[in-house]
Amino acid sequence: MLNPQVLQLLWQATLETLYMVACSSALGALFGLPVGVLLVVTAPGHILPNRVIHRITGVVVNIGRSVPFVILMIAIIPFTRMIAGTSIGTTAAIVPLTVSAIPYVARLVESALSEVDFGVIEAAESMGATPLQIIWKVLLPESLPSLVLGFTITTVSLVSYSAMAGAIGGGGLGDLAIRYGYQRFRSDIMIQTVVVLVVLVQLVQMAGNALARRLDHRHPS
């Protein structure tokens, strides 16, 4: 059974995980969204075609996506120190989590925005909409349900990444599982931690799905 002490540990670790995931997914979305938009609108035949920007952005995003999180986390320690003032702790972990989320979000935004029927974009062009108006009033609202699902996927991935961040002193549920569950052979705590993670992921996914469904008017309800 759960004793109050373990419960306290779990609660603390859950809060830390929530803090890391909430901050990094919000920041990842904030920075990843414009990158994803850039990827879409600069593509050939789109509203602001630009081969050079499109290629460069694509390559940078791919590099970001291909570096394993554990390596990224260590590689950018100097950058993390610059931003967070330290490379250890929950707040410091937000930096590599955000950096790894940005290219991830960018690709998900790209795929969501590419789903928008080009006829609708042309209709807006035919009405004299500026490229910025097309982005704000057509591309983003029309793909909102897909964007919400994309952000949900990102958040879920960040929950598991945040557990890895725990391994280098980031705190949170991953840290708890390793320190108590693995290093001190407390498999009960290990299991309880995993249960909390599973519940967390379920809740995030359910909330995301529900929100996306509410926002979607593409099919008759």
CB of 93 to other proteins, least distance (A): 36
Give the chain's end-to-end CA distance (angstroms, integer): 45
- In the complex, the smallest distance separating the C-beta of residue 43 from other proteins, rounded to whole angstroms, is 18
Provide the minimum distance between the beta carbon of 136 and other proteins in the complex, in angstroms, as a whole number: 10
Among residues 133 and 205, whose Cβ is nearest to other proteins?
133
Give, as one character, the DSSP assignment of residue 179: I
Rounded to an integer, what distance in angstroms lies between the CA atom of residue 103 and that of residue 9? 33
> Which of 27, 31, 2, 25 has its CA nearest to residue 161?
25
Nearest distance in Å: CB 116, other proteins: 9
Cα 124 to Cα 131: distance, rounded to the nearest angstrom: 9
Please, which residue, 9 or 46, has the CB nearer to other proteins?
Answer: 46
Q: For residues 117 and 188, which CB has a smaller minimum distance to other proteins in the complex? A: 117
Name the site residues for other proteins (rule: CB under 8 A): 117, 119-120, 122-130, 133, 137-138, 141-142, 144, 215-221
CB 67 within 8 A of CB 104: no
Least distance between other proteins and beta carbon 44 (Å): 14
Question: Distance (Å, rounded) from C-alpha 208 to C-alpha 217?
Answer: 16
Q: Provide, rounded to whole angstroms, the least separation between the CB of residue 114 and other proteins.
A: 15
Q: Scanning the structure block, which residue is given the tokens 């996306």?
A: 212
CA-nearest of 200, 188, 183, 142 to 13 is 200
* Contact partners, residue 78, CB within 8 Å, separation at least 6: none
- What value, to the nearest 5°, has the Cα angle with vertex 194 and ends 189 and 197? 130
Q: Which is nearer to other proteins, 145 or 181 (CB)?
A: 145
Between 78 and 220, name the residue whose CB sits nearer to other proteins.
Answer: 220
- Smaller CB separation from other proteins, 51 or 217: 217
> For the chain, what's the residue count?
221
